[in-house]
Amino acid sequence: MIPVQDIDELKAILDESRVSTGESVKQLHSHDESHHTPVLPDVVVWPHTTEEVSRLIQWAYEKKVSVTPWGAGTSLEGNPIPVKGGMVIDFNEMNQVITIRPEDFQVDVQAGVIYKELNKTLSHHGLFFPPDPGAAATIGGMIGNNASGIRTVKYGATKDYVMKLTVVLPGGEVIRVGNRARKSSSGYNLLSLFVGSEGTLGIVTEATLRLMGFPANFMAVRATFPEVLNATNTVYQVMNSGLSPSAMEFLDGNVVMVLNHDRNLSLEEKPTLLMEFHGYSEEGLKEEMLFVEEICRENGSIFLDKGLGQTERARLWEIRHQTLESIKRYHPGLLVLIMDVAVPLSRYSEIVRFIKEEVKDLRAYVFGHAGDGNIHVAVMDDPHDQQRWALVEKANQRIVLKALEFEGTCTGEHGVGIGKICFLVDEHNESLAVMKRFKDFLDPEGLLNPGKFFL
């Protein structure tokens, strides 16, 4: 426990209203959306500026107190759980959109900005920040996990949009990495070092993000297939055809069943692809739609629901965005272990087939971002039933190892957190030791988000 006199020092750095040791506050910051065991921090603080974060980190290093950054708590691998207690820095009050630069397609933001709120603001300028993880994540959290989502297949992940960062290093030193130029060959790429590091190397407080112009027209397609293989083969053929989907999502039949139950829908409870295309003209998109329809029918599609425009797009993604929450509500009292692997597109059908066999005796739901080879498996069970939960974890292990065998990754977008540490040696081999050297050099005391990446 942090002594009372040290808590008083924190209140001198901020003010009393932005420092809390209350049990309810600590409980709120003890867990994310994963099944991992909650751990209470000793204190939670809410800074407003980079200078305040610097002073907090300097204090923590002097006192040998661990520090865990906190965005919205929507992570799925235990990424923000303060496993060593200590201080949680909650960025929800560092939520300013600092400067919008429409002529440069850029925006400067504080780390606590919610990306959905950012896109509402940007829409007035005809711009948007493409990465879309679905949950109401903060920009800082998205940078920490290199978040992506449904639009990755066309637009890429968070790392593709980060141009400049303000980072507080262990000890309190503030550095700025990157620039606002659209390209640079100057120096080491430190941006990539911090993006995806989950706050283990430094804490991001501000970011300059690259933006895209809002598409003029949308085409939305829902295609239903008799078997999983028909759907996954369609994914490859659409991607190989020269078409450029902005989103391509796979839902297994039992996922659709849960959505029907939870959302009062009446969709066909069969393997389903949700697709979206962006274009300059309506006529061009109609031509693409004919091509997409032909590919789907060649692969045995038994139902096609299609439409143009923003309304049709919203109707389509209302189905997908609530998938995980619908699954949770369908199994009250159980917790979710969500697997998140990605493989080369050529192995997508194989990994889905392997997964279906592995989880056939579990309460499992298979869905994912098919266009970029990312697959999720949500398994609902009771972690207190050791025999059942051992089966869940064993399936998770076999699925991850199969993805690595296919030259994929143990985590496509959820990050390492607590849940994926055990697979890092298998994925990274000797390069993991190099990562550890970076960690030891920048954070020799191991105080920044401890218990993540390295045990």
Residue 287's pLDDT is what?
87
Q: How far apart are CA 180 and CA 425, in angstroms?
A: 36
Which secondary-structure segment (H or E) carries 386? helix 386-405
Among 63-72, 305-314, 429-438, the least confident range: 305-314
Residue type, 219: M
67-70 and 19-20 strand pairing: unpaired
Question: What is the mean predicted confidence (pLDDT) over 104-123?
Answer: 97
Question: If you average pLDDT over every residue of the chain, what do you get?
Answer: 94
Residue 279's pLDDT is what?
84
Taking CA 354 as the corner, what is the angle to CA 76 and CA 301, rounded to the nearest 5 degrees? 95
Q: How far is CA 118 from CA 73, 96, 130, 183, 248, in A?
A: 18, 10, 11, 24, 24
pLDDT at 314 over 80: no
Domains parsed from the chain with CATH numbers? 4-90 (3.30.43.10), 97-213 (3.30.465.10), 217-323 (3.30.70.2190), 331-428 (3.30.70.2740)
Residue 215's pLDDT is what?
87
Q: Extract the tokens encoding 263.
A: 């959302």
Residue 321's pLDDT is what?
77
Residue 198's pLDDT is what?
98
pLDDT at 312 over 80: no
Question: What is the mean predicted confidence (pLDDT) over 258-284?
Answer: 91
Q: Which residues, in sequence order, are bridge partners of residue 367? A: 251, 376
pLDDT at 75 over 90: yes
Residue 68's pLDDT is what?
98
Residues of 268-291 as b/e, b for ≥16 C-beta within 10 angstroms? bbbbbbbbbbbbeeeeebeebbee
Residue 17's pLDDT is what?
96
- pLDDT category, 119, cuts 50, 70, 90? very high
pLDDT in tens, 341-356: 999 999 999 999 999 9
Residue 196's pLDDT is what?
97
pLDDT at 455 over 80: no
pLDDT at 308 over 80: no
pLDDT in tens, 21-37: 999 999 999 999 999 99
Asked whether 268 and 303 are in contact (CB, 8 A), the reply is: yes
pLDDT in tens, 365-390: 999 999 999 999 999 999 999 999 99
Report helix angle 323-330 to 310-321, nearest 10: 40
Question: What is the mean predicted confidence (pLDDT) over 310-326?
Answer: 78
Q: Extract the tokens encoding 5.
A: 């006199």
Say which residues have a Cβ less than 8 Å from residue 394's Cβ, sequence separation at least 6: none
pLDDT above 90 covers a percentage of the chain that reads: 86
Q: How far apart are CA 405 and CA 426, in angstroms?
A: 10
Residue 320's pLDDT is what?
77
Question: What is the mean predicted confidence (pLDDT) over 57-78?
Answer: 97
pLDDT at 319 over 80: no
pLDDT at 313 over 90: no
